[in-house]
Amino acid sequence: MQLAEVADGTYYWVTMSRSLTIAASLFLVTLSVSPLNAALAAPVRTASGLVSGLAGADPSVTAFKGIPFAAPPTGDLRWRAPKPPVAWQETRKAEQFSDSCIQKIVPERKPWTTEFMAHNQISEDCLYLNVWTAAKAAADKRPVLVWFHGGGYNEGSTAVPVYDGEELARKGLVVVTVNYRLGLIGYLAHPELSKESGHNASGNYGTLDQIAALHWVRQNIAAFGGDPGRVTIAGQSAGASSVHNMTASPLAKGLFHRAIAESGSAVVANNRVAGIREAEQAGLRFAASKGAQSIQQLRAMSWKDLSDLSGSPTSGFRPVVDGWVLPESLADTFAHGTQNDVPTLTGMTADEGSSAKDYGTIPATEFEAQVQKRFGDLAREFLKLYPATADQSQKTSAREQGMVSMYLWAVNRAKTAKTKAFTYYWNHAEPGPDQARYGAFHTSEVPYVFNTLKQSNRPWTPLDHKLAEVVGAYWVNFVTTADPNGKDLAPWPAFDPKSAVTMEIGDKTAPRPVADQARIAFFARYFTRPDATAR
């Protein structure tokens, strides 16, 4: 018997034959990255076994879909840190996406039309990732992009059409997209789970899945022509939040070297994450609602008996400050300078809140009443800056408070970070019948980043295709060099606390002011209040 380490820092015993298999696999992976300058071997050997992929629409790119990076978290492994995948003997055909993690599957949820949604089967057996690569040899050592999908920690999947990695692989990256457990299955905390963990912590299983995937990348990506020393983590919405969690987690230290957070960087005083004891009490209440006296009884139930997928895509099960995966809040982590300090690119869309039914169209008297309720004694000052009777006040105030919040986040980051940050403001609205209604909606830049416009049934224009090339070039440059700037691109200044500007990307691409000084000063005062809200 031999002791082996797994991704979550715990250990398990394996037989000597299993250990020899792992050792042999690692030896062969080492051979594959030696400077032989041969064509990328097919099939590719990972630490768990051989995998064969599928040629993309561009035959220079090979996609490997549905590679397990952890054992199925089912049965007694439900609500536990991920365990290593079970090795296989024959070549595994990695030609289709795995099942998505447990969630409600819907055709669309406007403004997110079908290309933004998962449409495949769901299962607890969902801890798989995908790799796109155009490397010709393992020694190519191409920069690696690891993508965490969005969906509010309750929806989403690597099978979402806009996350197809072929175009970015054509541009020189090795692209990895990762499933992780969601909602109740991914984030339930409970005193029994904390006790059995050995860390007095529970919840955050989806976050541990992401960390396990990064360990898989470090161990295996060289065999696909990727550079394990040049890994960028990226994501949008909950995926952006996940990126921030990786920067705050000591368990992810050294596993990545740059970060991209799309629609996920803001400073709000009460934008807090639940603590472990609070989350455990919520777990006890959930168990009681199911008539369960113990975690054993909950594990004996099917996921269908546990999960209510009939209603809202949101739930109370999200990442928690557990003292282990996340030792403290993100704000405290950065204030103390204990983050995983890597170059960071982050930004927002102009109409982050346009999914709200009354976005930008509230009658002036109602808008004024909402301002009074939200801002209290600051309401009069707000209404001087953004008069309720002005046609664009509602949208302008929402957009500028988002940019100011992002600017203040970057100011706080700069107090302890030694690495650069780059911020952006995406203001191009996707064409189509809902363009005027939703504008540049939350996560709408994603199809441009991946250049997956062909996945959408929209009347794309030459400007849209040009934007996809431009934003893709910025992202590829950042993943490659930690700086988005490059030939034939408008200069993108690094964040400077003394200059309140961000990079506008859209119909015009150039640096722009965040807001005027009076408005910046107003939101700076408001966001320090304990009762401040994001909107």
Q: What is the DSSP string of 384-415?
A: HHS-TTSTTHHHHHHHHHHHHHHHHHHHHHHT
The four Cα atoms 514, 518, 523, 528 give a dihedral, to 10 degrees, of: 120
Is residue 249 included in any domain, yes or no?
yes
Interatomic CA distance for residues 53 and 41, integer angstroms: 11
The predicted structure's pLDDT at residue 35: 37
Is residue 314 included in any domain, yes or no?
no
Interatomic CA distance for residues 47 and 389, integer angstroms: 63
Based on the domain organization, do 300 and 442 belong to the same domain? Answer: no
Is residue 301 included in any domain, yes or no?
yes
Six-digit token string for 142 = 């191409």
- Could you tell me if 47 and 212 are in contact, meaning their C-beta atoms sit under 8 angstroms apart? no
The predicted structure's pLDDT at residue 37: 38
Residue where one domain finishes, among candidates 306, 326, 354: 306
- Could you tell me if 41 and 35 are in contact, meaning their C-beta atoms sit under 8 angstroms apart? no
Interatomic CA distance for residues 415 and 516, integer angstroms: 23
**Residues in the chain with pLDDT values less than 50:** 1-39
Residues 6+ apart with CB under 8 A from 416: 334, 335, 336, 337, 339, 341
> For residue 31, which of 138, 132, 136 has the smallest C-alpha distance?
138
The predicted structure's pLDDT at residue 307: 85
Looking up tokens 């004891």 gives 277
The predicted structure's pLDDT at residue 267: 86
The predicted structure's pLDDT at residue 274: 82
Is residue 254 included in any domain, yes or no?
yes
Is residue 14 included in any domain, yes or no?
yes
Based on the domain organization, do 242 and 348 belong to the same domain? Answer: no
> For residue 526, which of 516, 264, 535, 513 has the smallest C-alpha distance?
535
Is residue 315 included in any domain, yes or no?
no
Based on the domain organization, do 260 and 351 belong to the same domain? Answer: no
What range defines the domain where residue 225 resides?
2-271+274-306
Identify the three-state secondary structure at position 524.
helix
Based on the domain organization, do 416 and 523 belong to the same domain? Answer: yes
Based on the domain organization, do 390 and 501 belong to the same domain? Answer: yes
Is residue 311 included in any domain, yes or no?
no
Based on the domain organization, do 442 and 522 belong to the same domain? Answer: yes
Planar angle of CA 343, 346, 350, nearest 5 degrees = 165
Six-digit token string for 169 = 């692989």
Based on the domain organization, do 301 and 347 belong to the same domain? Answer: no
pLDDT, tens digit, 9 for 90 and up, residues 41-94: 689 999 999 999 999 999 999 999 999 999 999 999 999 999 999 999 999 999
Residue 431 sits in a domain whose CATH number is: 3.40.50.1820
Neighbouring CB atoms inside 10 A of 409's CB total 25
Residues 6+ apart with CB under 8 A from 521: none
Q: Residues with catalytic annotation?
A: 237, 352, 442
- Cα 419–chain centre separation: 20
Number of domains the chain is built from = 2
Interatomic CA distance for residues 424 and 162, integer angstroms: 20
Interatomic CA distance for residues 83 and 253, integer angstroms: 19
The predicted structure's pLDDT at residue 533: 83
Residue where one domain finishes, among candidates 260, 288, 306: 306
Is residue 375 included in any domain, yes or no?
yes
Looking up tokens 């500007």 gives 501
Amino acid making up residue 26: L
